[in-house]
A and B are shown apart, each in its own frame.
Chain A
Amino acid sequence: MQTFRFDLCELPEETKGLRNDVRQFLARELADVPAHLRALTWSGSDPAFSRKMAAQGWIGMTWPKQYGGHERSAFDRYVVIEEMLAAGAPVGSHWIGDRQSGPLLLRFGTEEQRQLILPKVAKGECFLCIGMSEPDSGSDLAATRTRADKVEGGYKVNGTKLWTSGAHRAHYMIALFRTHSDPQNKHAGLTQFLVDLKTPGITIRPIRDLTGHAHFNEVVFEDVFVPDAMLVGSEGSGWGQVTAELAYERSGPERYLSSFILLVELIRRLEQEGGSEAEAEIGRLVAHLVTLRQMSLSVAGMLEAGENPALEASVVKDLGAIYEQDMALKAHEMIGAMPAMGDGDAFENVMGQITQISPSFSLRGGTREILRGIIARGLGLR
């Protein structure tokens, strides 16, 4: 039986100065942002904020300098992003490019693709989205049907991507298309492409979510031409490349900090109201927070060491999503205040925000059931 490995990983002492710099920057930049907007964390977008972060050298931190990166350690990057998330900075614009697409292109992309994209991402001027889900392909990603058919000099793409976060504000999409159909092996024949979203034939339609805002989109491809040069990695290797991406996507601090602003406002409320019944519940929430942070750091340490902690990343994401989602219920049980849409006090407004967006915490980046299936496979049950 394969068991999980969670060794302690301590952040290097030299990250302390960086942490202070980030805090000072955030205190300045977020001074006027109300708590319920900070509660959006990485769902909140602000291109101007992304450019300011880039000017500090905090996007593409670990990338080689030749691609606009800063050649910092993964731990430096970890400190920056956990500070951003804990403060509720609107990091959504550059989030996907910095976390996922940049590393993907560094690993599998061509020199031309890297030169085209990475320096602009690192400057906060180019945003990416990820085209994976489709109308008939959600958790069952290998059921991808959007076709990329070989034509002279490139591919012709037809189909629809769905639930694509940030597509309406992104410049490029890393898309998973089917280049070959084999009913016997649907994991084969998938290929990743770097798609310029200005290409004719692409229609992006924002979809309002239950909060009334549009974060995700339907993206329709009608005879869209994608040049050969924009194929990422190798044809037919899309499944393996996507799987490799997911360890980065599933273990970061964004997987347990989505409700952190609510915890802060909850404690502020309890400071004012007093009463000792809530103490044990706050203690439990902090104990779980600290444990999740150590688990997330442990995975970061393995990533930095060049290991593949895909299983441990799924563990962090599953536990993290439970934690993030429980927060609104716990806060409701402890306080029972009316959740508000911006016209209440800070706590009520954050309650309104988190209560509404929390169902997405165990959907995005792999549903709870898929993650537990991955964990069960790791345990030797499948």
Chain B
Amino acid sequence: MNEFQTILADSVARLMGHEVDRHLLEAAETGAFPDKLWAALEANGLTRILVPEAMGGTGGTWSDARIVLSAAGKASAPGPIAETLVAGFLLAQAGITPPEGPLTLIEGELTLANGTLSGTAKHVPWARAATHGVAMVSRHGASQVLLVPLGESRAGEADNIAREPRDSLTFGNVAVQAAATALPENALRLYGALARACQMAGALDYLTTQSVAYANERSQFGKPIGKFQAIQQQLAVLSTQAAAAGMAASYGCASADKAGEGHDPAFEIAIAKIRADDAAGIATSIAHQVHGAIGFTYEHALHFATRRLWAWRAEYGAGREWAKWLGAGVIARGADNLWSDVTAR
């Protein structure tokens, strides 16, 4: 991390510690938007890290965004933080100045005709709280980024298993702002996956810290359970999985920062999501096992992180989806190109 990133990490951690508490997490699960947290994030420019300064943003990189996203994931911070960052990134890349306020990302069966959007979208994060969403369409291989006012399009409210809003939208000839972009046609899913991988790395960090703390304070058989080798070995595995997911997320972001100039970051971004997904399966299982029955209660905070990991690993492409894409590409390139491809990046 450079000096700016060290300062950023400290200030984001402090902001999360100050703004995110048990009360906020519970309130968000019953549908309340985290207004105060959001205001603090906006006041610090953290919702527009990936928007250039000329468009009113902070002009940061994906490596900077990773710090914010991982800190948010570590705190289980509610709100469309990742979605707003990615939406701002996509809009800026297409030359559209992002509007104020929380934004969301729209994936669905969408068609653009004469500047109006029609179709349906499900599982749209926080659509009930956002004024605008970002969608992408492509025709003849040319991608377009759309800034979509949500207005009357909200068609139903639902939650993912982390009780994060995932709403339905129906569009009937909604006028949108569209702009061509050099981004690939799957850019929304791709950068959505990268953002989730960063959040997951943070949540996995939390599982390590929380599980180690619990093992040191919970006593059975006359000593803290963390003194038993069986528990120590499990926690070591949990921590190495978190470390690997963190490394893969950093690598994915560094690659995203090199996009353009003949560099396609999809390989590293796919790896980040695959590695986070694999780590999540192992880490959530160990964290819950170490916590025992108390960790299975709603009262204990562990589930705010584990339920997010179980939801996020499936969003913007599960590990399996990205692994299939990556593996098909590797096999098509052939055995003898694997090593030179890995080392050339």
Residue numbers in A under 8 Å from B320 (CB-CB): 280
A283 touches B323 (CB 8 A): yes
Interface string of B311-339 (1 = CB under 8 A from A): 00000000110111111101100111011
- CB within 8 Å of A: which of B56-114? none
Distance in Å from the Cβ of B219 to the closest Cβ of chain A?
14
Given the known inter-chain contacts A263-B338, A295-B247, please indicate yes or no for A290 contacting B271, CB distance below 8 A. yes
B248 touches A318 (CB 8 A): no
Residue numbers in B under 8 Å from A281 (CB-CB): 323, 327
For the complex, is B342 an interface residue (Cβ under 8 Å from A)? yes
Residue numbers in A under 8 Å from B212 (CB-CB): 1, 379-381
B330 touches A286 (CB 8 A): yes
For the complex, is B285 an interface residue (Cβ under 8 Å from A)? no
B236 touches A291 (CB 8 A): no
Residue numbers in A under 8 Å from B342 (CB-CB): 286, 289-290, 293
Task: From the candidates B1, B247, B319, B326, name the one contacting A286 in the complex (CB within 8 A).
Answer: B326
B236 touches A375 (CB 8 A): yes
A284 touches B239 (CB 8 A): no
A291 touches B251 (CB 8 A): yes
Task: From the candidates A265, A268, A379, name the one contacting B239 in the complex (CB within 8 A).
Answer: A379
Q: B31-39, B167-175, B224-232, B291-299: which lies at the A interface?
A: B224-232
For the complex, is B246 an interface residue (Cβ under 8 Å from A)? yes
For the complex, is B243 an interface residue (Cβ under 8 Å from A)? yes
B339 touches A86 (CB 8 A): yes
Number of interface residues of B (CB under 8 A): 52
For the complex, is A294 an interface residue (Cβ under 8 Å from B)? yes
For the complex, is B158 an interface residue (Cβ under 8 Å from A)? no
B216 touches A279 (CB 8 A): no
Interface string of B266-310 (1 = CB under 8 A from A): 001011001100100000000000000000000000000000000
A331 to B338: give the CA distance in the assembly, Å.
Answer: 17
B interface with A by C-beta (< 8 Å)? 1, 205, 208-209, 212-213, 215-216, 226-227, 229, 231-233, 235-237, 239-240, 243-244, 246-248, 250-251, 254, 268, 270-271, 274-275, 278, 319-320, 322-328, 330-331, 334-336, 338-340, 342-343
- Ordered nearest first, which 8 A-B pairs have the shortest CB separation? A283-B323, A283-B327, A282-B327, A283-B326, A376-B232, A372-B236, A279-B327, A268-B335
A interface with B by C-beta (< 8 Å)? 1, 3-4, 6-8, 10, 19, 23, 82, 86-87, 260, 263-265, 267-268, 270-271, 276, 278-295, 298, 312, 315, 318-319, 369, 371-373, 375-376, 379-382
Additional 11 contacts, C-beta under 8 A, given A86-B339, A287-B278, A318-B236:
A4-B239, A265-B335, A276-B324, A284-B323, A286-B326, A287-B271, A290-B251, A294-B247, A295-B244, A318-B240, A380-B216
